[in-house]
Amino acid sequence: MSVTVMVNDLVKRYGSLVAVNDVSFSIEKGEIFGLLGPNGAGKTTTVEMIEGLRKPDSGKIEVCGIDALKQHSKIKEVIGVQLQSTTLWDKVKVKEIVDLFGSYYQKSLPTDEILEQVAISDKQDSYVSTLSGGQKQRVALALALVNDPEVVFLDEPTTGLDPQARRNVWAIIEGLRERQKTIFLTTHYMEEAEQLCQRVGIIDHGKIIALDSPGNLISTANLESAVEVTCRSEDAEAIFTNIKGVNKVSKEGNRYILHTKESSSILRELTHLTDENKLQLEGMSVRQGTLEDVFLQLTGRKLRD
Amino acid sequence: MKVLIRQTALEMKLFLRRRDDLFWTLAFPAFFIVLFGLIYGDTQWGPIRAIDYLLPGIIVMAVMISGIMNAATTFAEEREKGVYRRLSVTPLRKHIILGAQIISRYVIILIQTLLLLLIGILAFNISIVGNYAVFWLILTFGGLCFLAIGFSLTGLMRTAKSATPIAMIVFFFLMFLGRILFPVDVLPRALEYISNVLPATYLNDALRLIVIEGRSIGDVWLELAAIGGWMVVCLILAIRFFRWE
């Protein structure tokens, strides 16, 4: 595997604030890498330094083997960028703007193909200003893909979108993953990072505090799962508390939540108890740990606080 | 080169789609010449009719509206919205952006001037005594010069909100000291020196020499050189202080 983006010891200060503090990571060819963190953690500053919009105070950035800080104009041909907020001319039509952006590059994909890829062909003759938030975001994606880039930068691609529009954008990004595109995305939605990224760097206060695949991050964090059951037996709470491996039981009417790190053995035990008619369970569900919980465990704060 | 043509074509299209821009650059100067024509009728100012004297001035005013007021403030607004920030991560160079802006606006200035001439000739009997080719040459120098001035000012316009006041100050300064609507002898001596070197003054003088007095190109070379000088200096400033965001 070859490395497409390499970032070493990146530092950016604004006065006394260290916005990005010694950040290092690399992205392999064909990989979707996500930077996950709360607002103000340094995600946008990091991605904009790689894109060349901001100058780092120190550090090294390489994109496709090119020194991004020294040969900035050279990497513009090989990257595709979707900024956190993309504003275009109001009175420009979708097809026109994609055509125009294509003409900026030495090589570009046919406009029809791009519009198809981001599912906006039906709006190609509409003014950009008349589009919905989700449609505008798809145009922004189209502009990021028009030069068939080696690496695509997506800065919070679904922030501010409704759930349906978010799923549409995810579907487009998944389409890119199938076509082996290298993608760097930032997000403060843990579902987004879990769903899309092969590897995730968790960033907080300008520092990367964890970096691995979403699955590994969750399993190494050794998180508690929550087993949720509904039960009408009088002595249910006592029985649940006595099951081995249950750390805590919380109760809400007839609903009980069993906090545990061994959800599978708890499930076995619950089935066993039902078989022996000691308990009448009416519903059961298990919620596994998420990246949100990983973040909570690492920082003591919630992602969206 | 292909990129420059496409970018220019887009700018033209965008301009035609913006109704308020169309109004300010086309209808507003046209309104002025109709107004002055109706006010002065056949009134004589010395040896010439007032409206004959005023037409070149109104053309200069229209050129300044296009170059300083309209082009520069629109650019500053689009820049604040982040349009050029997005362009800055593509291989597009700032020379192309400026070039496309200036060429498309220059075409607008030509259309605008043609409209003013037509109204003047058809409605108020104004005749252009001199050569039309020389008139066009002077207009081209003047148009490009005021566009360069407008875009050099965008470096000073930190926000879209400050763009209009900055453009207004420069516009009215040139309007009053550029001998556009009244002759030089009403100015105090100190202001006259300043007035003498302003691009608006040179453009006015050159246009009047051709339109009213019917002089030849040999008589306006000094004015053309001065306008050209302003243009080159401001163009360098516009490129040097170009801001993507």
In a domain, B245, yes or no: no
Up-side HSE of residue A286: CA atoms within 13 Å toward CB? 14
Of B148, B137, B157, B160, nearest in space to B99 by CA: B148
Q: What is the pLDDT of residue A303?
A: 72
Per-residue pLDDT reduced to its tens digit, B66-80: 999 999 999 999 999
Do A247 and A283 fall into the same domain? yes
Rounded Cα–Cα distance for residues A33 and A199 (Å): 5
In a domain, A32, yes or no: yes
According to DSSP, the residues that pair with A82 across neighbouring strands are A154
pLDDT band at A209 (very low <50, low <70, confident <90, very high): very high
**B91 close to A (CB below 8 A):** yes
Best probe of the A interface among B1, B2, B81, B89, by most A CBs < 10 A, is B89
pLDDT band at B20 (very low <50, low <70, confident <90, very high): confident
Rounded Cα–Cα distance for residues A213 and A215 (Å): 5
Which of A53, A89, A92 is opposite residue B89, by nearest beta carbon? A53
Rounded Cα–Cα distance for residues A303 and A298 (Å): 11
pLDDT above 90 for A287? no
**B19 close to A (CB below 8 A):** no
Do A166 and A100 fall into the same domain? yes
Domain containing A67 equals: 3-220
In a domain, A185, yes or no: yes
Count of the separate structural domains present in chain B: 1
pLDDT band at A26 (very low <50, low <70, confident <90, very high): very high
In a domain, A302, yes or no: no
Overall average pLDDT of the A172-188 stretch: 93
Do A178 and A267 fall into the same domain? no
Most confident of A101-105, A191-195, B34-38: A101-105
DSSP chain A: --EEEEEEEEEEEETTEEEEEEEEEEEETT-EEEEE--TTSSHHHHHHHHHTSS--SEEEEEETTEETTTSHHHHTTTEEEE-SS----TT-BHHHHHHHHHHHSSS---HHHHHHHTT-GGGTTSBGGGS-HHHHHHHHHHHHHTT--SEEEEESTTTT--HHHHHHHHHHHHHHHHTT-EEEEEES-HHHHHHH-SEEEEEETTEEEEEE-HHHHHHHTTPPEEEEEEE--TTHHHHHHHSTTEEEEEEETTEEEEEES-HHHHHHHHHHHHHTTS--EEEEEEE---HHHHHHHHHSS-TT-
Overall average pLDDT of the B52-58 stretch: 91
Do A242 and A201 fall into the same domain? no
According to DSSP, the residues that pair with A151 across neighbouring strands are A79, A182
Residues of chain A neighbouring B13 (CB-CB closer than 8 A): 91-92, 96
Do A77 and A187 fall into the same domain? yes
pLDDT above 70 for A1? no
3-state secondary structure A137-169: HHHHHHHHHCCCCCEEEEECCCCCCCHHHHHHH
Do A268 and A126 fall into the same domain? no
Per-residue pLDDT reduced to its tens digit, B120-153: 999 998 888 889 999 999 999 999 999 999 999 9
Do A160 and A44 fall into the same domain? yes
In a domain, A99, yes or no: yes
| A41 contacts A208 by C-beta, under 8 angstroms | no
Do A239 and A213 fall into the same domain? no
Taking the alpha carbons of A79, A84, A86, A87 in that order, is the dihedral positive or negative? negative
Do A182 and A156 fall into the same domain? yes
Q: What is the pLDDT of residue A304?
A: 65
Per-residue pLDDT reduced to its tens digit, A73-103: 899 999 999 999 888 998 999 999 999 999 9
pLDDT band at A36 (very low <50, low <70, confident <90, very high): very high
Rounded Cα–Cα distance for residues B175 and A8 (Å): 56
pLDDT above 70 for A202? yes
In a domain, A214, yes or no: yes
Count of the separate structural domains present in chain A: 2
Residues of chain B neighbouring A79 (CB-CB closer than 8 A): 89
| A221 contacts A291 by C-beta, under 8 angstroms | no
In a domain, A293, yes or no: no
pTM over 0.95: no
Do A240 and A261 fall into the same domain? yes
In a domain, A301, yes or no: no
If one counts every other C-beta atom within 10 angstroms of the C-beta of residue B210, the result is 28
Residues of chain B neighbouring A141 (CB-CB closer than 8 A): none
pLDDT band at B23 (very low <50, low <70, confident <90, very high): confident
**A92 close to B (CB below 8 A):** yes
Q: How confident is the prediction for chain B on average, in pLDDT?
A: 91
Rounded Cα–Cα distance for residues B7 and B238 (Å): 18
Task: Mark B182-207 as b/e (b = at least 16 C-beta within 10 Å).
Answer: eeeeebeeeeeeebeebbbbbbbbbb
Rounded Cα–Cα distance for residues B143 and B200 (Å): 11
Residue identified by tokens 């906006």 is A120
Among A220-224, B104-108, B139-143, B155-159, the least confident range? A220-224
Q: How confident is the prediction for chain A on average, in pLDDT?
A: 90
Do A194 and A278 fall into the same domain? no
In a domain, A96, yes or no: yes
Domain containing B196 equals: 2-240
Per-residue pLDDT reduced to its tens digit, A117-134: 999 999 999 999 999 999
pLDDT band at B104 (very low <50, low <70, confident <90, very high): very high
Q: What is the pLDDT of residue B84?
A: 95
Do A161 and A61 fall into the same domain? yes
Between chains, do B91 and A106 touch, taking CB under 8 Å as contact?
yes
Mention every residue, 6+ apart, whose C-beta is less than 8 A from residue B226: B197, B199, B202
In a domain, B23, yes or no: yes
Smallest CA–CA distance, residue A51 to chain B, in Å, is 7
Q: What is the pLDDT of residue A269?
A: 86
Which of B13, B83, B89 is opposite residue A51, by nearest beta carbon? B89
CATH number assigned to the domain comprising residue A157? 3.40.50.300
| B146 contacts B199 by C-beta, under 8 angstroms | yes
pLDDT above 60 for A305? no
**B161 close to A (CB below 8 A):** no
